[in-house]
Amino acid sequence: MGTGVTSRFRDKVVLITGASSGIGEELAVQLARAGARLALAARRGDRLAQVRERIAAVGGAEPLIVVCDVTLDGDPPRAVAETLAHWNRLDIVIANAGFGVVGPFAKLSLEDYRRQFETNVFGVLRTLQAALPAVLASQGQLVIIGSVAGWTASPGASPYAMSKFAVRALANSITPELTLLGVRVTLLSPGFVESDIRRVDNQGRLHAEAAEPIPRWLVVGRDRAVAQMLRAIARGQREMVITGHGKLFVVLERFFPWVLRAAARRMAATRGSYRTEPTSE
């Protein structure tokens, strides 16, 4: 990050959900290096402790650790309350917690879709609604981690794509409302970034030993991706698509949608799992 970006975060209080790994962890480390005061929230307290050690190694201020499950109604308000009690203010909230439910439509249950939306949509809503009074008071910023999947959906990922389309719609709707109240909203839409998300199963369980399913050359390092994200946050951008391939997909979706439709048909046709009888699950 440049000096201007670093100075934007110095002494700012930032709450990050899903801060125990992947993009959330990297956001925490880079923000700590920039001088931010952090509240790190996630379900896995042991992993949050490891992130705290990484922050100590780069000389950052010791973060507040909050064990928090965004699918539980009371947890995000508690995380906000603990942040305010510890740091006395809240300037930036990054709603990052999320995972991906994937699989052919014929094999997915209604419960799979509900589970996806509880984290990726209602988890974001719980976080933003809990934080809004404090962010209004500080005239701060709400940041939503979306996805290029919120622009273009692909076969085998309908629950995830639906959830990311939903949070993109949320961001588009609330941005003009909250701008009038002095609060900035930034939607970050990454493509394939180095992360644990593709090693988490449909029940939200991490399989650390699982291989990365995306070709390595297509996956952007999370340090580089997060640096781009923080520049967008510092500038108060309304939305930023992260990664070159992500930008390409968005351009194709907006101006040449038939290209992606044809690619999706070929993808579905070459995967026999899409041609199955519905299950009873």
> Minimal CA–CA distance to 20: which of 206, 212, 191?
206
Instruction: Give Dmax over CA atoms of the chain in angstroms.
Output: 57
Output the CA angle 14-17-20, nearest 5 degrees: 105
Q: DSSP state, 91?
A: -
Q: How far is Cα 8 from Cα 235, in angstroms, rounded to an integer?
A: 9
> Minimal CA–CA distance to 167: which of 217, 116, 213, 131?
116
Q: Are 196 and 21 contacting, i.e. CB atoms less than 8 angstroms apart? A: yes
Q: DSSP state, 183?
A: -
Output the CA angle 3-53-140, nearest 5 degrees: 45
113 is catalytic: no
Which residue is catalytic, options 9, 87, 99, 160?
160
One DSSP character per residue, 49-64 reads HHHHHHHHHTTPPPPE
Q: How far is Cα 27 from Cα 250, in angstroms, rounded to an integer?
A: 24
- Positive or negative CA dihedral for 81, 83, 84, 85? positive
Q: How far is Cα 90 from Cα 138, in angstroms, rounded to an integer?
A: 7
Q: Are 146 and 189 contacting, i.e. CB atoms less than 8 angstroms apart? A: yes
Q: How far is Cα 236 from Cα 248, in angstroms, rounded to an integer?
A: 23
Positions annotated as catalytic residues are 160
